[in-house]
Structure 1
Amino acid sequence: MGSKRTERYDVVVCGGGLAGFCAAVAAARQGASVCIVQERPVFGGNSSSEIRVTPHGTAQFHAYARETGIISELLVEERAANHEKVRENGWTNSVWDMTMYNMAVSTPNLTFRLNTTVTDVVMDGPREIRAVKARVAGAETELTIEGKVFIDSTGDGVVADRAGCESRWGTESRAEFGEPHAPLQASGATMGSSIHFRAKDMGRPVPFRAPEWAVKHEDPAYFYKQGRHFYDLVSGYWWIEIGVPWNTIYDNEDIRHELTRHTLGIWDWIKNRDPELKEKAAHYALDWIGQVPGKRESRRIIGRYFMTEHDPANRTVFPDEIAYGGWFIDLHTAGGLLAPTAEPSSAEGYSETSEYAVKSYCGPYGIPLRIMLPKDVDNLMTAGRNVSVSHAALGTVRVMATTALMGQAAGTAAAIALRDGIAFADLPDARIKDVQQQLLRDGCFLPNVRNEDPADLARTARAEAGSAELVYGAGPDSRDRTGGFRPIAALEEVPEPLTERRGQWIAVGADEIRAISVCLSNGTGSDQTVEAVLQPVDHIWDYRAEAHPPLASATLVVPPGRKRWIEWPVGLRASEGLVSGRYVRLDLKANPNVEWHMAGTVLPGHVSAFEMGGGRMRRYRDGGTLSFRIEPPQPAYGASNVLSGVARPYDYTNVWRSDPAQPLPQWVGLQWETPRRIGRVELSFPGHLFREYHGYPPFYRDPQCPEEYAIEAYANGQWQELVRVSGNYRQRRGHDIPGGVDATRLRVVVYATNGDPSAAVAEIRCYGS
C-alpha cells in the first residue's frame, strides 16, 4: 500500500536546479517555511554531477558582470574547495553537489525532498493551487505538499501545466514580433537536449571498441564543416545534442538513448577514425557518459509580460527589474546532431564581427518580475527556462547563472508577498522597491537600481579612509596582481593591430586631465597616424561607439618602433565637460599598421572594448586594461565609493582601495555627526566579478578579498574591536553585534588580503539593533 503523508509550508518550490535552489534558499532566508521538491538525488539540475554542464552567465561576454547573490556564494565556495579545474562540460564532480547540499542542510526554515517527483496539482478553485502531489522514488511514499505559494522551477513547467496555465512551445514567426532571430515561419521546433562524457589520460595506449548499435561516422565534413569542434578531448561537447524530431518532454528516454548512441560513435571517431585526433587521444580512456539529458527548451509559461528578443537587444529598462542577463542570443539549430550544421555561432567559427555576431551580442540587460508571474494562476511563480519569453529571447535568458538570479528574485518576492499579505499580481506595483532593495542587500546586482534602503544607517554617514590608491595607468610591463585568475592566454604577448576602433575606460576622480599616453608599436618604416577620441560614457557596458559628443579629439603621430609611449596633451577641465566620479572612454580609431598593447595587469574597473560593427562595441579579449598613462593621477578609489550604492565597477569603480605603497593594515570607515545604534554590519568585498566562473583555478581565493579584517567602533571616546575574522575568502560577510553599540565612527581594518597589496572594500552597510 505504501505510505501517504501531508506536509504544509509557506512556500513550495518544485525543481532543484539552480533556479529552484536559489528560490528556496532565498525564501527561507526571508523567514518563510520552505519545501523544495527535487526529482533527482542531487541539487543543481543541468549543473549537477549527473549532467555536468558548468554554469554560464553574463561574465562570459562582459567584464565585471558575474552574477552575485546566492549563486556567487555557491561558486565561490566550490572553487575554494574543489581540486579540479573547471572544464566546459562533463567535468563536474561531487564537490559541487556537496556545496549545494551543505547550503541546503545549513539553511534554517528549509526542508528538501530529493528523489521526489511532482505527479499532480491540487487546485482550490480555477486560479489557486492548494497542493502538489509527489512520489518519493524507492520509498513507496506519496506526499501531498500544501503551500500558500508555489514556485515552478521544473524546467518543463510541470506545475504550471497541471494547473492549467497557458504556455508556448516552439518557435515564433518573424512576423509575430519582428524578431531578427525568428524564422519566417513558426514551428514546433525546440532546441535539443545534450549528454556529456568525460575521458581520462591513462599514460599509456588504450584501445576502444564501440558497440554495434553506436552511430558510425565516416565523413570528416560532418564535424569540420558543420561547426562541431573538438576543442578538448577530455570533456564533452555541447553539440552532442538532439531534439527534433523528438519531443523534449514526452520522448526524453528516446532522446537519451539516441544521444548515447551518438556519444559512443563520436568517441569512436576520435579514438579510431580521425587521423589526427586518434594520435592525440591514444592514451585517453572513456571514463563517464551522462545518462540524464540536459534540456534547453520545452514549455514556456505565459506571464503578465512576454519578453521578446527586442528587450535584451535594446536593454529595455523595466520598473520591476529583479535580475539581469547578458549571454548572447544563442539559438541552437533544431535537430542538433541531425541538422545540417551546429549552433550558428559555432558553425561560423565564433566570429566576433560577423553579421550574426553583431545582432546576437546583447546585454547586460534587466529582467522583469512579470515574466515570472503566470497570468492564469494567482499563487504561482516560475523561475528558470520556463518563464514568459519568446523562443528567441530564451536564447539568452536560459543560461544557468541567469536563471539562478531569477530564482533568487522569485523566492525573495514570494516571501515578501506572504509577509505583507500582497497578491502576486500586485507585487510589480505595490512592493517592487522592497523586493529590489532586499535583493541588493542580499548581494545581488541590478543594472538600474541602487541601494536606497532606508534602514541602512551607513547612508547617513560620511566615508573616510587611512589611504587611497591613485590611478596612474598601466603598461605592458606592469606586474599582474590578479593572483593567477587571468588565463595564461590573456597574459601572452600577441600582435594587437588596430584593425578596428578600440576603447579604454578611464575613471575620472579629479577636475582635470592634463595628458594621456598610450603604448603603441609601429612596425612600418614611416610615421603612422591614429585618431584619438575622449568621450563620456554611462557605464562600463556602454558599448555605443559614439554615444555622446566627444570631450576632446586629436591625431596622434606614431614613429616607427616597438612599444613607444605616445603622449596626448589633452588639457581637459571640468569647465569643458569633464565630470569627476564618472568614466570617460579613450578610443583609438583603426589603423592596422599600429598596435595598441594590453597592460600586464588589470586596473580594477578599467575595461576595454572594440567596435564589432554597426557602431557597436564588445569586450576586447578578456576585457582587461589596455596600456595607458594619465596625468595627473586620478583619485578613483576613494572612501566614498563604499557608499555609492553599487557594489561593483559599473558607472564608476565603486570600490575603495588603499595605497599599495603603504603596508597593511589599512582601514576605511564611516563617521556620523551624532551616535548611531549599530547592531549589524554587512560588508561587500571586491573579487570574483571580472571573469566568469570558468576562469578560476582549483582552490581559488580572490587576491582582492580581505583574508583578515576587523570591525571597530568609536564609542565612549575610544576604539573598540567588535569583530575579528581570519581565513576569509568570501565576497560578502554579515556580522551581528551582540547588544549593539552606540558609535559616531565605525571602520573596517584590513590586516591581510589573499594576495593583493591593496586593501579593498566595495560596500559597507549598517543596521540598528
Structure 2
Amino acid sequence: MEVIKMELMKADVTVVGGGIAGICAAIAAARQGLQVSLINDRPVLGGNASSEVRVHINGSAYLGNSPSYYAREGGLVEELKLKIFHYNPLYNKKLMLSLSDMVLLDMVYDEPNISLFLNTCVHETGMENGRIKWVEGLQLASERKFRFESPTYIDCSGDGIVGYQAGAHFRWGREAKHEYKEELAPEVADHYTMGDTILFQARDVNYSVPYKRPGFAYDITKLEFFDSIRKGLNHRSFPRKINGLGGLWWLEYGGHMDIIKNNEDIALELRKLVYGIWDYIKNSGEFDDVDNLILDYVCPIPGKRESRRFIGEHMLSQNDLTAKPHFEDAVSVGGWYMDLHANKGIYDEGPATAWNFVPGLYNIPFRSLFSRNIPNLMFAGRNISATHVAFGSTRVMATCGCMGQAVGTAAALCVKYETDPADIVKAHMDELQTQLLRDGQTIVGLQEQLDPYFADGLTMRASSQRSYEHLHPTEEISLEKALCLVLPIQTSVAESVQIKIKNRSEHSETLQVKLFGGERKENYIPASELKDYHLLISAGHDDWITLDLGCKKPADDKIYIVLEGPASLAVHGNEEKLSGAVSFHYRPEVPSRLKKLNKSICFKDLLPSQNMYNPQNVVNGFSRPYGLPNGWISERSEGQEWLEFVFASPKNLDEIHLVFNSQLNLEHFDDPIEPLIQDYDVTLTLEDGTESEINIRGNYLSLNKHQVHAKGVTRIRFDFSATYGSPYYEVFAVKFFAPKNAK
C-alpha cells in the first residue's frame, strides 16, 4: 500500500482561509514581494461571498446609509468590488455569481508570488518554542499532503483553526456587561454566538412547476414558531421579490449550540427549514404568482457568522466603535451597525436582530489583529480580537477584507525586519500606515504627506475649475418632510447662501431655518444648534432667496442647514451629486441617522466665496472627502479637461497614482458609476524636451497606479476625455513616488 508523501511548501507567509479577508491578506503580502501560500478548504474562493454561500460583500458604508456618507472602504476591497461589478454587473441581483468566483480567482492567479491550494483542509499545526513552526493540510481530491512552513502565519479561516491548534487564547460567546463596560452586553457572560444561515435562490421559468416536499423537510405549519415565519414571509408582497431571491437571512439556527462541533446537525436543521418553507410558499395557497417558480439553488453549506474570537493586545469593544478613541496603530476601518442576532435564531422569540447604531466610520487598531500569546500569528476576518458586541459590526466581509490587507502588508514588514507583529507596533507603525495609505487603504484622519522632493517648487494648473454652487434645478422637493443641506466651508466664517424655493399655496407660508455644526470630519451628523429663525415666503413665490448663516466654521468644517415648513413649500433640486455638499431628510428624533434623499438641493452665491475644487487639493494628502471634499472638479464639459504639474527642477519618478471618484457613498452598484473617469492620457515631459505617453481606455478602478521609471521629469500632464456619464471630471488625489535612491 502506497503511503501519501508529505510535500514541503516554504513561503514568506502562510495565509489560511480563502474568504475575502484571506484573499486581501494574500494579495497585499504578494504585492509587497512576499512568497505566499494561500490555503482554502473549499473549491472556490470568497468564503461567504462565494457562489456557494452567496452573501453580499457589505462593509462600513452600511448599505449606503452610513452617517459618514463617503464611507465605502478603499484599498483592495474597493478594487475587488469594482472588478466584480465590471465583470458581473448582475452581482447585486445574486445572478451569475460564478463570474464573481472568476474575478476572485483571477485576482489571485494574477499574483505570481501566490501559490494557491484549493480544497486543502488544515488539520494539524506544529509548534516550536511557543511559535508556529508549520501547518499541515490534506488535499482530498488529489490525495496530496502538504506541510507549509513560513516565519509568519495569518489565520483567516473564520473558525480560527490554526490559532486554535496553536493554543492561541480566544473568546467564545458573549462577554458580561462589566468586563468592557458595554451597554449592549448581557449582565452575565454566556456561551451564545450568532447562528448559521443557509441561503437559497428562486427563479421564474415561465411555466407551471409542481413541488413536493422531501421526506426529511419540516411541515412548517406544525412548528411552534410558524407564526413568526409566516409574518417574516410577508405573504402577498413576498412573491413579487422572490425571483432571484437570495434567501432569508433571518432563517438562522445554532447560536445556542457549539457552532463548530455541531456544524452538521445545524446544517441539517436549516435544510429541513428551507425545503419546508418552500413547500409552504408553493403549496399553501397563501401566495400569489408562485406556480412558475422553482427552487433554483440551495447553498450546500451554511453561512457561518461567529465562533472563536482570538485575544490580541487590544480587545475591540462597543465603546471603541461609538466613542472612537484615537489609536496610534490604526490600520483599517469599520462602520456597519452592531448587528446582534437573536441567540437561538429562528427558534427565538422577538426580532431576528437588533440594529445598534454606530456613529460612522471607526478605526481598527493593529493590536487587535495579532495574538497576544503566539508571537508569529496574525488574524483577519470574523476571528479578530473583538468582544461579541463589537464583533457585531466588524464581522461583515468588506471590513474583514480591509483587516486582511492590513495584516498582509504587516507581514512584509515582519519579513523585512525579521521580527514579529508586536514589534511592528513598537517600531514600524509609521511605515505600515504609510504603505497602507499608498495602497488606498482607508484609515480615518490619516493624511499622506507629499514628498518634499516633489513638493518643493511644484506648480499646478487645470483647464477649468467647478464653482462651488449647485445649479440646474430640475424638480421640486417638498418640505413635507424636513430637509438638510450640508455645505463644507473652507473659510473661518459662513455669511449667507441662496437657495431656490417655491410656495405652491395661495397665501404666505413660514419657512423655518435651523443651522447646526458638526463634531467629526468624517461624519455628516448635525450635532450642535447654531441658529434658528423663520422666513415668510409670499404666496406664489418661486425664486432664489438668501439664507443668513452668520456663523463660525464648525469643528467638522461643515454647516448643516435644516429647512422645515408645510408641504406647500418646496425647494428646487436635481439628481446630480456634488462632492462634499450633501442633502438628506432631517429627522429631529434621530438626527445622527441619515435618511437619504437621493436628490441634491440647489444652492448658489455662498459667501464668503469658496475656492473649493482647486487643483491644489489633489496633493493635500486626503483621497476622499474628510471635512472638505478634498478634490479637483472641472467645469461642466463635453470635451477634454486637463491637470498639469510642473516641477521647479527635473525629478526622477518611479510611480504615479491617481484616485478618481467612484461614488463612495454607495455600498454596491446597479448602474454605471457616472463620475468615474474612463479614458485619459498621461504625458511626461523630460528635461531634454522629449515626451512619453501612457494611454488609458476603459478604466473602471478608482485607484490607478502607473509604473513610469522616468528620469529628469519636468512636467506631467493628465488629459481626461471620458467619464461613465458625468459631465464633470473629478480627481481626489495625485501621488508621486520617487525611486528609493532618488534623493
TM-score, normalised to structure 2's length? 0.91
1:451 corresponds, among 430, 448, 452, to: 448
| Equivalent position amino acid for 1:508 in 2 | I
CA distance in 2, matches of 1:625, 1:32: 47
2:462 corresponds, among 465, 469, 474, to: 465
Is the 2:615–2:632 Cα contact (8 Å) retained in structure 1? Answer: yes
Which of 175-184 and 534-543 deviates more? 534-543
Q: Deviations over 1:359-412 (max 9, x none)?
A: 523321111111111101000001000011111111100000000000000100
Is the 2:518–2:525 Cα contact (8 Å) retained in structure 1? Answer: no
Partner of 2:36: 34
| Equivalent position amino acid for 2:686 in 1 | A
1:568 corresponds, among 546, 549, 552, to: 546
**What's the CA shift for 1:476?**
5.3
1:84 corresponds, among 85, 90, 111, to: 90
Task: State the SS of the aligned residue for 1:330.
Answer: strand
Task: State the SS of the aligned residue for 2:137.
Answer: strand
Partner of 2:583: 608
Which of 746-755 and 504-513 deviates more? 504-513
Q: CA 1:270–1:456 in 2, change beyond 3 Å: closer, same or farther?
A: farther
Q: What are the equivalent positions in structure 2 for 1:44-55 lying under 5 Å apart? A: 44-55=46-57
**What's the CA shift for 1:96?**
0.6
Task: State the SS of the aligned residue for 1:570.
Answer: strand
Aligned residues: 723
Partner of 2:512: 530
Is the 1:528–1:558 Cα contact (8 Å) retained in structure 2? Answer: yes
Partner of 1:617: 592
**In the alignment, structure 1 residue 641 sits paired with structure 2 residue 617:** yes
**In the alignment, structure 1 residue 202 sits paired with structure 2 residue 205:** yes
Partner of 1:689: 664
Where in structure 1 are there 5+ consecutive unaligned residues?
346-356, 479-492
| Equivalent position amino acid for 2:498 in 1 | I
Q: CA 1:765–1:392 in 2, change beyond 3 Å: closer, same or farther?
A: same
Q: CA 1:581–1:642 in 2, change beyond 3 Å: closer, same or farther?
A: farther
CA distance in 2, matches of 1:459, 1:591: 56
**What's the CA shift for 1:594?**
5.5
CA distance in 1, matches of 2:597, 2:159: 35
CA distance in 2, matches of 1:184, 1:456: 57
Task: State the SS of the aligned residue for 1:497.
Answer: coil
**In the alignment, structure 1 residue 577 sits paired with structure 2 residue 560:** no
Is the 1:456–1:767 Cα contact (8 Å) retained in structure 2? Answer: no
Is the 2:479–2:564 Cα contact (8 Å) retained in structure 1? Answer: no
2:724 corresponds, among 751, 754, 763, to: 754
Q: CA 1:228–1:432 in 2, change beyond 3 Å: closer, same or farther?
A: farther
Is the 1:206–1:285 Cα contact (8 Å) retained in structure 2? Answer: yes
Partner of 2:307: 298
Q: Deviations over 1:322-374 (max 9, x none)?
A: 111111110010111111134234xxxxxxxxxxx6x5233211111111111
Partner of 1:728: 699
Partner of 2:487: 506
Which of 78-87 and 166-175 deviates more? 78-87
TM-score, normalised to structure 1's length? 0.88
Partner of 2:643: 668
Task: State the SS of the aligned residue for 1:652.
Answer: coil
CA distance in 1, matches of 2:234, 2:389: 22
CA distance in 2, matches of 1:376, 1:330: 29
| Equivalent position amino acid for 2:719 in 1 | V
Q: What are the equivalent positions in structure 2 for 1:466-505 lying under 5 Å apart? A: 466-474=463-471, 477=474, 497-498=480-481, 502-505=483-486
CA distance in 1, matches of 2:357, 2:214: 40
Is the 2:519–2:554 Cα contact (8 Å) retained in structure 1? Answer: no
CA distance in 2, matches of 1:497, 1:309: 36
Identity of aligned residues (%): 29
**In the alignment, structure 1 residue 124 sits paired with structure 2 residue 128:** yes
Task: State the SS of the aligned residue for 1:222.
Answer: helix
Q: Deviations over 1:92-148 (max 9, x none)?
A: 61111010101111112111111001101111112x111101111212211110011
**What's the CA shift for 1:432?**
1.1
Partner of 1:238: 249
Which of 681-690 and 579-588 deviates more? 579-588
Partner of 2:265: 254
CA distance in 1, matches of 2:513, 2:663: 35
| Equivalent position amino acid for 1:675 in 2 | P
CA distance in 2, matches of 1:578, 1:371: 36
Q: What are the equivalent positions in structure 2 for 1:169-184 lying under 5 Å apart? A: 169-184=172-187
| Equivalent position amino acid for 1:405 in 2 | C
Q: CA 1:454–1:293 in 2, change beyond 3 Å: closer, same or farther?
A: same
Partner of 1:386: 383
Task: State the SS of the aligned residue for 1:405.
Answer: helix
Q: CA 1:268–1:634 in 2, change beyond 3 Å: closer, same or farther?
A: farther
Q: CA 1:494–1:395 in 2, change beyond 3 Å: closer, same or farther?
A: farther
Is the 2:521–2:555 Cα contact (8 Å) retained in structure 1? Answer: no
Q: CA 1:361–1:416 in 2, change beyond 3 Å: closer, same or farther?
A: same
**What's the CA shift for 1:756?**
1.7
Q: CA 1:765–1:94 in 2, change beyond 3 Å: closer, same or farther?
A: same
CA distance in 2, matches of 1:155, 1:284: 34
Root-mean-square deviation (Å): 2.8
Partner of 1:487: none
**In the alignment, structure 1 residue 517 sits paired with structure 2 residue 523:** no
CA distance in 2, matches of 1:760, 1:603: 10
